[in-house]
Structure 1
Amino acid sequence: MSRIPAERAVALRAFSRYIGSREGRDHMKLNGYVSETPVVVAHEDEAVSSVMSRVQKTGHIPVLVCVHFPARTADLEFIELRPASEPSREHLPTGGSSTIGMLVDFFAGSEERFTFSVSAEITAVRLEPATV
């Protein structure tokens, strides 16, 4: 069994506290997520490619990604990832050094859909930030 990096373990504990709270469960339900919804938890500094690899391994569509920003007041942010229904002409470049935190910050405040490419087309939708 592989060892979970320390930062991801902290992120998992933050998500566990959040989802264990009434506020967290209500937020998830309000956004249409049920107990069977797959969630990939990541630390803000994890590479986009690493997170996308874990998303693809779930075998589910869509997948909710919970990104932990430990230094922020609203320390959990959520994005929903799913394969794009059709190719887009515009792409958000994500290089090998791009982090999932950078991607979430790019989406901040937007309700638009964006398509970006890591190894496959993915559509992302930013949800309301959650507080733990």
Structure 2
Amino acid sequence: MDEPISFKLMTPRREVELADMNPKHRLVLTGSHQMGAWNAMLRPSYFSAWKACRFQDNSCGDLDSFDGGVIVDAEVGYTFAERYQLSVGAQNILDSVPEAAPEETAGQGNLRPESTPWDYNGAFWYTRLFAEF
């Protein structure tokens, strides 16, 4: 019983993900405007270069480097009957997607890395109805 019992809370891969895979810099600017019953929001976001594990290896020994990018979110809404708001918007309206990692695509069929600073599926459009009670 002289030996201490120890265990790691994170896998080697998770340690690399936290230390090396996140962009070093991120800038988010949000602008919103309201005029009468109408409102609008525009949010550009910049991400500097980042890295991703190749082949989703548990040790994350091979990292691929990717250039940074800009995504833009936008939303327009209209308030009616004093307590309802209907909005239409998009996340990543420019449909920015990370470049493919050729070796991983050839080896596993992944078109894009799974770990990205923004959603690797591209643009996401939505409609929202908000009610205030």
Q: Same fold (TM over 0.5)?
A: no
- The higher relative CO (CA closer than 8 Å, separation ≥ 6) is in 1
Structure index of larger Rg = 2
Using the size of structure 2 for normalisation, the TM-score is: 0.21
TM-score by length of 1: 0.21
More helix by share: 1
